[in-house]
Chains A and B, each alone.
Chain A
Amino acid sequence: MTSHDVRDMLDLPGEAAPRPIKKAKLTGPRPVLKGLAREVQNLGGDNPIAIVPETTTFKKKRFGSRKPAAKWENQSFRNSAREDETLVLKHWRRKAESPAVAPGDEGTAAPNEVKLEDSTFAKYNVKVITAEYNDEQYQKHLLSEDWSRDETDYLVSMVRDYDMRWPVIWDRYEYQPPAITLDPQAAELAIVTASKPRTLEDLKARYYSVAATMMKVHKAPETMVAAEYELMEKMASFNPQQEAQRKLFAEAAFQRTREEAREEESLLIELKRILARSEKLSEERRELYARLDAPASTGNIGVFTTSQGLQQLLQQLMQADKTKKRKSLMGPDGTSPAGPSGLNQQASFDRRDSTVRGESISGPSGTNNKKGPSQGQTERRQLSAEEEILYGVRHFDRITSSGPAFRAERINKPITSKSSIQQQKMLSVLTELGIPHRLIMPTYAVGEAFDHLLTNINLLLEQRKVTEKIQSEINTILAIKKQKEEEAESKQILRQPEAVSGSGDVKVEEVEREKSAAPSINGRKRSASVMSAVSESTKRQKK
């Protein structure tokens, strides 16, 4: 392809002008090459191959662009984290571009020098905050029988010195009580008796109690930040006995023999296995329940409530079954079964449900009825009376007016039909009785019992309402009565003014006693009635 063609394609103006010039250029300053380079050049003839030309200026350029070697100087610096800030150390640093200060001083600590660089590491100097207190605070809050002021001071200083590293504090704890030198013998005695060995828990307990107390003293707990409060709580609730106990256990575990360790290991493995198995089991059970549970049906089941509808459904099921069979004969890539998808779904659910039931039926009777519902009604097994009870099979002479319904729905109806407040009350009674809101195994018998229980609960709630009402009425009447009595009394007092100083106090007292007694009695009564009602209902439930 020539450039002409390209231009043609790109719609550029015809013969380009610069072409001849290019040619001339090519022929013009042709470099005179030698050796291998010339050979390579010749290979290409007049159309030179693209070879990266050798540039001899490369090295020169690099040298030219290179900056002079970086200058370093031994700079003095200080560290503000030090307690004694006069220490000036030196390190090598890149010399600043502008010649600022001549490095004149030689090692002599120069606090008068304008500004000495501070170590970048000074900021890492972090100190723990330890409890602080003064004499008065100590006397007021921190007195302890076991701990002298001196030893507490010593402990706090140790905590500060060792940044709360408790193992170290305990390791280095060597409290020597100050010898009180009244007379030489007494001093000796004091030394012998006072310094008592402290466990790590003793030390922690004392320090935490001091720290928590002081936190409270410095800042009211209400005004503390959450973190502060938490810390204080934690320190205040430190339990040395428990901690010591824990360590004892840990030590026992630490000092196990090989056999014990091995046994424990095998036990642990066993436990793991059991747990895994039970998990699997519960998983399976859950799955089973999920299958047994009626899923919230999305479609309208009203269609099937009439016997006609049911017939239709059966037809559909058979249809679906047949197509399924055909499908399995045809292989996996067969056409999908016909029928409206919504109904199909319903059908498939029912199928699944019935197979499960079929299997569970086959369990106790021994024969494995794999054919299931596909056989149709013709070969329905005859259940014995026992089995019928077992599986909750019931026969109706005729379908009731409301038609078939899910038992679960029926069971929950008494609850769901009530107002939410009422519902709440009922549920709370159920919880109190330890009965799950949703029955785990809603067989017919259980459902009936539950139903019964719910009606009773309803009754109970109803009665409670009534009692409350009556109670309040009684209360108002009592109050009115009291008022009337008081009025009568005051009239009496007015009639007998000389008796005021003597019996008046007593009367008032009596009235007061009456007043305070009334509500408490009421309260007791009410709770008693609830209790009896509940116990009654539980009795019934048990039956």
Chain B
Amino acid sequence: MASQTLTSSMQPTDVYGGDEVSAIILDPGFSSVRAGFAGEDTPKSFVSSYYGVNEGGQVFGDDAIHNPLAGLDIRNPMSKEGIVEDWDTATRLWEYAITSRLTSFKQADPRNNGLNDDLKDLDVEMDGVEEGEKPLEEHPLLMTETAWNSPKNRERAIEIAMESWGCPAFWLARNSVLAAFGAGKATALVVDVGASTASVLAIHDGLILKKSIQKSHLAGNWLSSQIRTLFATSEPKVELVPHYTIMSKTPVDAGAPAQATYRTYEKEVTDSFRALEEERVLTEFKESVVQVWTGPGRLNSPMQAGMTNLEYAKSQPGRVFEMPDGYNQMWGGERFTVAEGMWDERAALPVAGEQPVQKGQTISEMVKASVNAVDMDLRSQLLQNIVVTGGTTLVNGFTDRLNNELTVMYPSARIKIQAAGLTAERRFGSWIGGSILGSLGTFHQMWISKKEFEEFGSSVVEKRCK
């Protein structure tokens, strides 16, 4: 804590805006749940949103869900739009995220200390400890939500916080607003490309402008599906083999078939488990190989004398990627094509069982639509305060391309993009903003207190958290 380095005579005064009340910030996303104490710079608890189900019940956390032996069926409580679908599980998942790293249920709580495996026993004791044994009695909770969260979902969130977890105070903030705060801005155009959704929306003085909300599915999961298509249509076809199937591998030349010994499991591994593990390989691929064509122009637009940008890109040195089974290959122009669909709907690779990408779903078109939906006087200010956040914006060249597209689109406006340089800050942008907000002294007056919740009911959240 910073205050420890201060001399005893220098108690933090009100000029320094922080006043910690050990609030907890909970930022659930489609791919992961981030939780931690306000005032810290990264979330202490980072848990996959995926959970496993088998005969024994649900398991949470990366330690448990990647176990191929357990015969887990992998699910996600979030919907394709990045909002909660399965509330019961989501509650348990968040509880896990909070109690595994931050606070804990009091010793006697039987559900999490692992002492009670007998379910009958659990019920009996549950009754006894119900009163006053809630995990967050000491901590105000600041939770994030997407801008398109439904009113019902919002009420549900406060009910869980107040009734199940016993929070003394609660607040529900939009994750895009927090991402802007995290970048130090109260007025901004936030471009958030996460796992399930890519969204663009305008924020004015810390309030989202509802008419400016634009979202599409061209985010991390979509990018994964593009890579899958790329693998499947390559000549020869590239096999996507997750790590857990490999016993050992021997190095092979580029393009040569893999030489590996495979593991076999007694119990059949479920498809969803395999998909989860494949996703991990794909994320590696995204991190190390995928590249966005930074411009000028589109990937398929002509460059000079009869040459397209793609042809130029192909002539540049490629990147080698080695699969878990040892198969490796040089990826040249293809590493550009997978991400191009985010910007140019015609360049998107067709994905089986999905609608072709629409023009309005591309990032640049979303920015345009969003900017057009706000008051004229705000527009140029917004373009000067573009905040880029979310894990998928980490693909190489993303911000450069965004900048290029926007300067072409608005030649006379000044474009300024603010993208955190550190990977963690980009991925945890909204959590960090929450951490800042939650530790501000002036924020104390905002909290919805337990009393207010009891007085006005769960609809208070609609009234207060605008």
Please give the residue numbers on chain A whose beta carbons come within 8 Å of chain B beta carbons, in ascending order.
70, 79, 81-84, 86-94, 107, 109, 119-122, 124-125, 161-162, 165-168, 170-172, 200, 247, 250-251, 253-254, 256-258, 260-262, 264
Q: Are A91 and B21 in contact (CB under 8 A)?
A: yes
With CB as the reference atom, state the residue of chain A lying closest to B3.
A92
Q: Which residues of A contact B211 (CB under 8 A)?
A: 171
Q: Are A167 and B204 in contact (CB under 8 A)?
A: yes
Q: How far is the CB of A141 from chain B (nearest CB, A)?
A: 29
A107 CA / B136 CA spacing, docked (Å): 12
Q: Are B375 and A90 in contact (CB under 8 A)?
A: no
A270 CA / B109 CA spacing, docked (Å): 78
Interface of chain B residues 351 through 387 with chain A (CB within 8 A): 374-380
Q: Are B412 and A122 in contact (CB under 8 A)?
A: no
Q: Are A94 and B19 in contact (CB under 8 A)?
A: no
Q: Which residues of B contact A258 (CB under 8 A)?
A: 408, 411
Q: Which residues of A contact B271 (CB under 8 A)?
A: none
Q: Are B376 and A251 in contact (CB under 8 A)?
A: yes
Q: Are A81 and B445 in contact (CB under 8 A)?
A: yes
- The stretch of B63-71, B174-182, B301-309, B446-454 that contacts the partner chain: B446-454
Q: How far is the CB of B463 from chain A (nearest CB, A)?
A: 9
Q: Which residues of B contact A125 (CB under 8 A)?
A: 442, 445
A261 CA / B376 CA spacing, docked (Å): 18
Contact of A171 among B212, B411, B452 (CB under 8 A): B212
Q: How far is the CB of B5 from chain A (nearest CB, A)?
A: 13
What 16 new A-B contacts, CB under 8 Å, besides A89-B444, A90-B21, A254-B412? A70-B8, A81-B445, A83-B452, A84-B452, A87-B450, A89-B447, A90-B138, A120-B14, A121-B19, A121-B441, A165-B205, A171-B212, A247-B377, A250-B377, A254-B410, A258-B411
Contact of A87 among B205, B212, B449 (CB under 8 A): B449
Most A CB contacts (10 A, CB to CB) among B21, B440, B451 go to B21
Q: How far is the CB of A84 from chain B (nearest CB, A)?
A: 5
Q: Which residues of B contact A119 (CB under 8 A)?
A: 19, 441, 444-445
With CB as the reference atom, state the residue of chain B lying closest to A124.
B442
Contact of A121 among B14, B137, B374 (CB under 8 A): B14
Q: Are B168 and A87 in contact (CB under 8 A)?
A: yes
Interface of chain B residues 410 through 466 with chain A (CB within 8 A): 410-413, 440-442, 444-445, 447, 449-452, 455, 466
Q: Which residues of A contact B19 (CB under 8 A)?
A: 91, 119-121
Contact of B444 among A121, A262, A264 (CB under 8 A): A121
Q: Are A254 and B205 in contact (CB under 8 A)?
A: no
- Interface presence of B140 (CB below 8 A): yes
Q: Which residues of A contact B8 (CB under 8 A)?
A: 70, 94
With CB as the reference atom, state the residue of chain B lying closest to A109.
B451
Q: Which residues of A contact B380 (CB under 8 A)?
A: 254
Shortest 4 CB-CB distances between A and B: which pairs? A121-B441, A87-B449, A258-B411, A261-B412
Most A CB contacts (10 A, CB to CB) among B138, B378, B445, B466 go to B445
User: Can you pick out 26 interface pairs between chain A and chain B where the beta carbons lie within 8 Å of each other?
Assistant: A81-B444, A82-B444, A84-B451, A87-B449, A87-B451, A88-B168, A89-B140, A89-B169, A89-B447, A91-B19, A91-B20, A120-B14, A125-B445, A165-B204, A167-B374, A168-B207, A171-B204, A171-B209, A172-B466, A250-B376, A250-B377, A251-B376, A254-B379, A254-B410, A256-B411, A256-B412
Q: Which residues of A contact B212 (CB under 8 A)?
A: 171
Q: Are A167 and B444 in contact (CB under 8 A)?
A: no
- Interface presence of B11 (CB below 8 A): yes
Interface of chain B residues 323 through 356 with chain A (CB within 8 A): none
- Interface presence of B210 (CB below 8 A): yes
Q: Are B445 and A122 in contact (CB under 8 A)?
A: yes
Q: How far is the CB of A478 from chain B (nearest CB, A)?
A: 66
Q: How far is the CB of A226 from chain B (nearest CB, A)?
A: 27
Q: A70-B8, A89-B140 in contact; A79/B444 too (CB < 8 A)?
A: yes
Q: Are B445 and A89 in contact (CB under 8 A)?
A: no
- Interface presence of B22 (CB below 8 A): yes
A91 CA / B212 CA spacing, docked (Å): 38
Q: Are B445 and A168 in contact (CB under 8 A)?
A: no
With CB as the reference atom, state the residue of chain A lying closest to B444.
A79
Q: Which residues of B contact A70 (CB under 8 A)?
A: 8
Q: Are B375 and A170 in contact (CB under 8 A)?
A: yes
Q: How far is the CB of A160 from chain B (nearest CB, A)?
A: 13
Interface of chain B residues 185 through 212 with chain A (CB within 8 A): 204-205, 207, 209-212
With CB as the reference atom, state the residue of chain A lying closest to B383.
A254
With CB as the reference atom, state the residue of chain B lying closest to A74.
B22
